[in-house]
Amino acid sequence: MLRAFLPETSFKNWLAGILLLLSTGAFAQYPDREPVRVTSFNTLSSGWLVNEGRANRLVPYVKGGHEERRAFYQWLAIKRDQPFEISFPATNGLCLFLDNRLIFRADSSANYTIDLTSIIPLPKPEGKYLFAVWSPNALPNLAGFQNYLPEEKYDPLYASQTVNLKNKPRLLPNQNAFIIFLLLIGVIYGSLRTSFPVDFNSVFRVGSLFRKTPPEEGFLAKPIGSWSSFLFITAFSLSFSLLIVAIHANIQNSFIFNRVFWLSESDITARIFSDAVLILGFIFLKYVFLRIMAYIFDVGGVVLLQYREFLRSILFMGMFLPFVMMLYLAFNHTHPGVVLWISTLAVSTLLVITTVRIINTLNKKVPLLNLHLFSYICATEIIPLSVMLKLIVFNY
């Protein structure tokens, strides 16, 4: 019909223009846009990774193909201002890491629920973190690691009385070991008072501590290697190590110090014994150390006086350490900061007062204006005091 009204040439040009327009519209495309990437924050997936030892890279975990593995990894996108609770079954000794930092250790086989955003401070508001699960004894149940979704059921009659209970890891160290050792120390002191009454009175009588001249009776008049001396020093070593372990356990279970590490009863017992052995060895080796330093500084006449004053001071003030420990057990749950401050102050006071009394006793015999004596005191008392305060009190 159009061909009747248009010339043949114009009709062909008009038809070619329409075909060109249609072909252009058919192959027209929208401007390229980057695909929208949706990142799931605070979500645990079922895709686990294992470390390929030869290439030192993470590869997908295949069930049945990596049975010998004990460490499993997963990249997590975490937002710091949102809770990220996960629940999982754990065997004794199972550990969780976040960017190679230990955040959890199971001290018994049970089901646990932890919040990854509150268990340690995260450096960035949001970011990727490498989450790792390691079990020393058995293959961890990876299928049991899930996002925690609490089942909230509301009863209109009792909704105000509903309490949501979660199986959270303990925030305080186990206190059973502390109580048992405290009872053991009480038994030791009681047996010493019954078996060695003269020695006990010579050490723990208040008047003997404030004498101007050191007493030459009872415990201090006996050889250092006697049986009663060993028992008195052992009782002090247990008391001192008990308080030191309690202080460090309280610090390590505090989120403020970024050292989240739940101590089991076996861990606490082993640390108390090891610290007691170290303290016991330090007390006996101090006499050898004083002998060597006295020979170097040519002040051999003050060694026995200095060592007896050292023993008298630490044993007398060590009698108050069990009372500080009782205060720790009674109020650590409600006022952990105050109890930690009091315990640290007690340890610092014992070390400082012992050093001050030794210096005062030696000054009465030989004035400190003697350069050899002053250098000797710095080498045997002042410098060791600074080292012990750094290791025991100001280590965290």
Per-domain boundaries in the chain: 49-161, 176-393
Q: Is the pLDDT of residue 223 over 90?
A: no
User: What pLDDT is attached to residue 131?
Assistant: 92
Locate all alpha helices (DSSP H) within 110-226, ordered by sequence.
176-195, 197-204, 206-209
User: What pLDDT is attached to residue 31?
Assistant: 47
For Cα atoms 242, 175, 93, give the angle at the middle one, nearest 5 degrees. 100
Q: Among residues of the chain, what percentage have pLDDT more than 90?
A: 10
* Segment (H or E) for 340: helix 336-365
- Smallest Cα–Cα separation from 321: which of 349, 346, 340? 346
Cα atoms found within 13 Å of the Cα of residue 260, Cβ hemisphere only: 23
Range in 59-63, 74-78, 216-220, 230-234 the model is least confident about: 216-220
The identity of residue 178, as a single letter, is F
Which whole number is the average pLDDT over 331-356?
87
User: What pLDDT is attached to residue 265?
Assistant: 55
For the stretch 66-123, pLDDT in tens is: 667 788 999 998 988 888 889 899 888 899 999 888 888 888 888 888 888 888 888 8
For the stretch 231-282, pLDDT in tens is: 889 999 999 998 888 877 665 444 333 333 444 556 778 888 888 999 999 9
Q: Mean pLDDT, the chain, as a whole number? A: 77
Higher-confidence residue: 129 or 255? 129
Instruction: Determine the Cα–Cα distance for residues 209 and 202; give it in Å rounded to an integer.
Output: 9
For the stretch 23-45, pLDDT in tens is: 555 444 444 444 444 457 888 88
Q: Is the pLDDT of residue 150 over 80?
A: no
Strands 57-60 and 110-115: unpaired
User: What pLDDT is attached to residue 13?
Assistant: 60
User: What pLDDT is attached to residue 224?
Assistant: 66
Which whole number is the average pLDDT over 300-310?
87
User: What pLDDT is attached to residue 14?
Assistant: 56
Instruction: Determine the Cα–Cα distance for residues 186 and 203; give it in Å rounded to an integer.
Output: 16
User: What dihedral do alpha carbons 340, 343, 348, 349 form, nearest 10°?
Assistant: 140
Instruction: Determine the Cα–Cα distance for residues 317 and 354; give it in Å rounded to an integer.
Output: 9
Higher-confidence residue: 168 or 223? 223
User: What pLDDT is attached to residue 40?
Assistant: 74
